[in-house]
Structure 1
């Protein structure tokens, strides 16, 4: 068996600039233009958890492109948004969005 060599990164010639780095904002793009759900604009900025849940349910049930059940699609989008924000999400917003999860479970009759 021959040795496997790792390819060395190309070195810059003196005076040459590195390629500009591209910022990947795929998660924001998913929220804006999800292939599975057509979301109401700025739905995650609403203050009423029940309104968020109703909107997600409506979007999930109307969608013909989703791969999972309406409940899973709606819950996945909400969880995705919460996780995407991470530690930048203020406690008040997190509380509203977590309450929206509970409302979504109730709307789909999936109470734990």
Structure 2
């Protein structure tokens, strides 16, 4: 179950007109924080992201399942099930006992995994490789939408920061 503050942050993102992926980002952040704080581990950064996206879908974030051919059929099916559960269209559900048992088993398996998947270096590397797979036009469109939903004060602060960065790079500082 996601934390209350995560749900409220995601709702605030929705009210602000931000994309479903941004809303889901709150759940991914929560999952990364869980791994960093040692609540459990993950095999990879991708797994932490997948857990976060699953929680987001189940919490009602309107996140589309991946397209055919993008991921395995099993992953797509799981995403569809999560989305259906989030919209309150759950199919036949397993008994409460088996759900609790599965949850405990999953948690114990994750507890044995490393926390390295949520390190700053690992998350940064994952973000870079994911961005590199997307075309420039798609990245540009996302940045434009992000700027629109940012709000005047935040946009101004971002512009100032960008100007400082450009100035620093022009003077040879990195």
TM normalised by structure 2 equals 0.26
Structure having the higher Rg: 1
The structure in which a higher percent of residues are helix is: 2
Higher RCO, Cα 8 Å, sep 6+: 1
